[in-house]
Structure 1
Amino acid sequence: MAKPVHAALNDTWISCQFCDGDRFRERSVKLNSGGMEFLNLAWADESATGLICWDCGYVHLFANRKIKLYRVDR
């Protein structure tokens, strides 16, 4: 199982928009477009950072590459 992380963008800590939690699971998410799918080129679509709230499961997507992740000690 993935380990929880805290996340920050520049000097701002990120919290869940739904439950205000501050621990997340991180994964890469493809931002597929219909045109690229049609041409069988979905692998070339842009990726985003997905932060999944550890407490409620709400998924946050960030296309900004400046997100910093910090391991959480349980």
Structure 2
Amino acid sequence: MGNKPRRAAIGEMWINCQVCKGDLFRDREVKLNSSGMELMNLAWANESATGLICWSCGYVQLFVNREIRMHRVDK
């Protein structure tokens, strides 16, 4: 995770923003909370996803795929 823009890929496929078609993102872990787990005070056990936040427009895409890789951008 970081504050610098990076490119993302799953295998050989590069990911682009669904809104603006940009290819630079920052990433963060996102908890996929469920109300049942919240009620039982087990929110910590909920599944996580990788949120890719588009550097250009801010649109957030969620990926549960563990194969997602982030790549530095050399400028």
Same fold? TM cut 0.5: yes
Aligned identity (percent) is 65
Partner in structure 1 of residue 25 of structure 2 = 24
- SS of aligned partner of 2:21: coil
Aligned residue pairs total 74
Q: Which amino acid aligns with 1:18?
A: V
Distance 2:56 2:74 in 1: 16
Partner in structure 2 of residue 2 of structure 1 = 3
Unaligned runs of 5+ in 2: none
> Structure 1, residues 12-62: CA drift from partner, whole Å, max 9, x if none?
100000000000000000000010001111011010000000000000000
Distance 2:40 2:49 in 1: 21
Distance 1:72 1:28 in 2: 20
Partner in structure 2 of residue 64 of structure 1 = 65
Q: Which runs of 4+ in 1 moved over 4 A?
A: none
Distance 1:45 1:67 in 2: 19
